[in-house]
Structure 1
Amino acid sequence: MSDTGLFISFEGIDGSGKSTQARLLADHLRDLGHDVVLTREPGGSPGAEEIRALVLQGDPDRWSARTEILLFTAARRDHLERTIQPALDAGKIVICDRFADSTRMYQGLSRGDLRGIVDELHRLMIGVEPDLTVLIDMDPTQGLSRALARQTVEERFEDFGEELQRAMRKGFLDLAQEYAQRFVTIDGARGIDDVTADVQQVVAARLPS
């Protein structure tokens, strides 16, 4: 991505705790003196946040999987141009709660055999991958229970139910093998402090000198 910055993404099924771990890592790295940008997908830039409201709210059948791929790719392009790449070029550490791997799973695999479309659009319009992807692995039943307990308006994908979450978990674990050079899988079924310690250890080995 950049000669100076570091791009870290967090992935996992809904309710896995990845958002909490991304925030805790950002706080930890700032305490160490690093310049950190904490961001999220979909979202992370004004235009992408507008698209976020479209794709995460409403009826589960609001959009087809193909339409979602286009919306997520548009949001990701704006996010890349306006937030991620400028921060990396400035030598900052970017921590992103979800990136392209979530689209590969949610739209490309779990809602139809559309992985090829996702990857081709990614190649044409995005063209970058994180330096490190931290996968927080979680039992789908436990994760969905956690996700639904949040009671937010952004529950469109949770409403697809546990079957989708099980497919997602398997897909993420398969992705971790496919992209083994950048993925690290961490057991998220433990206490927050234990997960945090593992995340910090993994990231410490990748920090710029």
Structure 2
Amino acid sequence: MLRLINKRRREVSVKNAYTLENEMELIKECRAGSDSARKRLYTLYSNRMLAVCYRYTGDMDAAHDVLHDGFIKIFTRFNFRGESSLATWITRVMVTQAIDYLRKQKRVNQWMVYEEQLPDVPDHSETGDNSGISEEQLLAFVAQLPDGCRTVFNLYVFEEKSHKEIAGMLHIKEHSSTSQLHRAKCLLVKKINEYRKNEERK
């Protein structure tokens, strides 16, 4: 499951590297206040960033709100310094915006869960394969995870944050991060197995 997601992420990263040859010129124009440049930037990244926002919020209406606020922040400040690719920087802005949204909605409380309060989930997070499961379906399963599990899973898998970094970002204990990730993987495997059984019955 994680191998499939990371493989697709690497493929997208390589593809994007060839579509941003004029990246620095676009950045200069955006900083100069060019509306046409901002429109090009939005057109280039909006669909991909909407998917990022949806992965974190689990709700498409909320994802659109986060996307809107994220681009307003980008166009207002545009403090890109070139320490990473533009795509990586924009993704980071959207992730921060999504987490802020969840925190403002008080859904952050679900991250503060004690071990004994987590429902039991069979420990089969690394079993089986993902043949027959599309990337879109797998990401839809990720969006359906509980807020805490989903947020930790996204940060660990997609943003490649360590549990220590995640704990600092979400103001939780490092052990809580590892527990939430484990639970997320178990729930995803359960969803995948249920999906396969339903498909076999058709």
TM-score of the superposed pair, with normalisation by structure 1: 0.34
TM-score of the superposed pair, with normalisation by structure 2: 0.34
Structure with the greater alpha carbon radius of gyration = 2
Name which structure has the greater RCO, CA cutoff 8 Å, separation 6+.
1
Identify, as 1 or 2, the structure richer in strand.
1
